[in-house]
Amino acid sequence: MPRFLHTHLFFYTVVTTLCVGVGVAWMCDSEWRFCPAKPVVYGGLVAVFLLVVGLFLTRARGCSVLPRTHILWRILVYALLCDVLCNLYIFNDLMHAPFSLLLTAASICMLWAILGRLSVIVCCPFFILQLAQIAGNRQYGTRINSLVIAETLEASEEEVLGYLSSGNMLIAAASIAGGIALSWALIRILRPHHNRLQLVNAGLLFALIAGIFSLTIPPVRRNANYYWPVYEAYTLVHAWMEALFHNYATIKQVQSLPSPTEQPSSLHTLHGGEGVVLIVHIGESVRADRMGINGYSRNTTPFLSSCTRLINFPNCISAACDTCQAQIAILTDARRDIYSKDPAMQPHTGSVLDLFAAHGFRVCSFFGKRNAAHLKYDMVVRILTRCAVERHNAPGSPWTAIPLMAESLRNQPVGQNTLFFINNEGSHTPFFHYDHQSAPFLPTGSSFENPAAHAESINNAYDNTVCYTDEFVRRVTRVLQGRPWLYLYISDHGEYLGHDGIWGRAALGESGRDYHSTTGCRVGMFLLYSPEFETLHPHFAEALRTLRSHTSMPVAQEHIFHTILGIFDLQTPWYTSALDLSSPAAQPYSGPQPPFSH
């Protein structure tokens, strides 16, 4: 049989098979109607034009217009293998399978025609990521997105170790081996073929047939995720760029904020020499509903539950599931959505800590183990605490920060007003920071391999970290005994441990739910104070009474900046009484939030 007949027979077989498959799908789908998508139509016209040009050029050179028939069959079989092994959505809707198969074949042809053997540099990492993504999706319910990449870039050593279980290591090794094997197979299939123009023609023809079949997919069932691998490659690149851009934009935004000290301010309640200690503690990943003081069935906050001078806010909403955005919302005058186009929601001034430093407070910062200047998290928190004259890290257990606080107080002049800024790991994954020798809830585990299968041990570990935070607060207040002090605690965001059907914050985007519609946006917030602070000035006593009267209202991180100023009566143009919980004029949080039951 002549060679061109082999080629024709190849395409007759492919088209007939696909037509039968799609025809059966049509018969089972009552919603089908012919509704061409404009991008597909325009792209098809371009493909037809380029294909005609390619056919003319190959014939002008006296060559066959397409590769040999056995090469075409190998490409299709290879595309089918790639789809089955690497395409996360291949079995979600079989009506898209023919389209995806042809699009994969077209991508293989075009990539090799452009790059030749260098295609492996693109394909091998792509295959590895896709294989790992399928395993990760089955375990954690998410895919590789900008939040996953951002979390990976910001991950601490302990967090990484929490995911390096034997099972996950085996999955990683299998993904690498699978990616290398698929890349090797690609070389074996296409390396003997040297006429790249023929591959261009084949790729255009595959793409053209794919476009025709895409027109047969009902509009209600069209989904960009099924346009694999082209859309998937775009998604990966976009996620990487978005994560990097988000990091850069966040850092640039914070760096550009003017200090609130550039405007005139005054502090009438303190004149220096009182020895007041203000603690601003931004916690990590503590959900309000996992705290005993908020009605949780376990007593995860034994110390706080025994405190008589506790002002607790059980219905506090965090601004974002990202630590940096939450820190900005807490320490600046930003509102609930700092990346909103609404100018009223944007931060207009820098850290509230600057104002206290300008009025005689000695600011000292205490960070957790994750502190490296090249990370977004660390750069943002360093900018927001740049007024600190002391910076301390707490390697290992953050309890080691407490002796540093005691030493800092001993080395200060008598009567020095002090502000301690604390930001440690707390209840961040992998839920490692607690007293392992006397953990109240057992069994525990920090392995995040298939977390749903280890829900009990992981949830126990999480509750132990909340107990640790409670004990951490107790130890800090013991250091402050005899002094007038105020302790303000608020967590940056919550965590997902099967709540709302989600495991991990990175899975939030794949769940299709908005952060503020989930219970994970409700975080721990409370104030503690000493009797010496309450009696130090009449304004303090009145402010504390007003704070207590507002504990039943919904509040948010946007209240913190103004509340700290209001408690101390630190007057500045940046202050807004409606956002000051110590003011009778305070207004409740009115932004998006899940239903609250207490």
Complete domains list, the chain, with CATH: 3-24+37-243 (no CATH), 274-428+457-579 (3.40.720.10)
Q: Minimal CA–CA distance to 75: which of 180, 179, 193, 214?
A: 193
| Burial of residue 465 (number of CB atoms within 10 Å: 0-12, 13-18, 19+) | buried
pLDDT single digits (tens) 93-140? 777 788 888 889 989 988 988 888 888 899 999 999 998 888 877 777
For the stretch 78-96, pLDDT in tens is 999 999 999 888 887 777 7
Cα 299 from Cα 256, distance rounded (Å): 43
**In degrees, to the nearest 5, what angle opens at C-alpha 458 toward C-alphas 457 and 463?**
95
Buried b (16+ CB within 10 A) or exposed e, 99-138: bbbbbbbbbbbbbbbeeeeebbeebbebbbbbbbbbbbee
User: Which residues, in sequence order, are CB contacts of 420 under 8 Å at separation 6+?
Assistant: 277, 278, 279, 280, 364, 365, 366, 405, 408, 476
Instruction: Say if CB 415 and CB 273 are below 8 A apart.
Output: yes
Q: What is the Cα–Cα distance from 129 to 137, expressed in whole angstroms?
A: 12
What pLDDT, on the 0 to 100 scale, is given for residue 256?
92
**Rounded Cα gap, residues 133 and 141, in angstroms:** 10
Tokens linked to 425: 């790991």
Predicted local distance difference test score (pLDDT) of residue 158: 61
What pLDDT score does 194 carry?
Answer: 67
Q: What is the pLDDT of residue 43?
A: 58
CA dihedral 253, 256, 262, 263 (to 10 degrees): -40
User: DSSP string spanning 537-583?
Assistant: -HHHHHHHHHHHHTTTS-EEGGGHHHHHHHHHTEE-TT--GGG-TTS
Tell whether pTM > 0.95: no
Strands 418-423 and 362-367, sheet pairing: parallel
- Residue 185: its pLDDT value, please? 92
SS3 category, 522? strand
Residues paired with residue 490 on neighbouring β-strands, in sequence order:
282, 525
- Is residue 465 a contact partner of residue 431, using CB atoms and an 8 Å limit? yes
pLDDT at 127: 92
Q: What is the pLDDT along the chain (598 residues), one digit of tens a residue?
A: 444 444 555 555 555 555 555 554 454 444 444 444 555 555 555 666 566 666 666 666 666 677 888 888 889 899 999 999 998 888 877 777 888 888 899 899 889 888 888 888 999 999 999 988 888 777 776 777 777 776 676 666 666 666 666 777 888 899 999 999 999 999 888 877 667 888 888 888 888 788 777 776 777 777 777 788 888 888 888 888 877 777 777 888 889 999 999 999 999 899 889 999 999 999 989 999 999 999 999 999 999 999 999 999 999 999 988 888 899 999 999 987 666 667 788 899 999 999 999 999 999 998 865 444 445 567 788 889 999 999 887 655 667 888 999 999 999 988 999 999 998 878 887 788 888 888 899 998 766 667 777 788 889 999 999 999 999 999 999 999 999 999 999 999 998 888 877 777 766 666 667 888 888 899 999 999 999 999 999 999 999 999 999 999 999 999 999 999 999 999 999 999 999 999 999 999 998 888 876 6
Neighbouring C-alpha atoms within 13 Å toward the C-beta of 202: 32
Closest listed residue to residue 375, CA positions, set 97, 149, 148, 153: 153
Can you give 454-472 as a three-state secondary structure string? Answer: HHHHHHHHHHHHHHHHHHH
Tokens found for residue 96: 């898209």
Find out whether 327 and 319 touch, Cβ atoms under 8 Å.
Answer: no
- What is the sign of the dihedral through the CA atoms of 236, 237, 242 and 247? positive
Q: In this predicted structure, what is the pLDDT of residue 34? A: 45
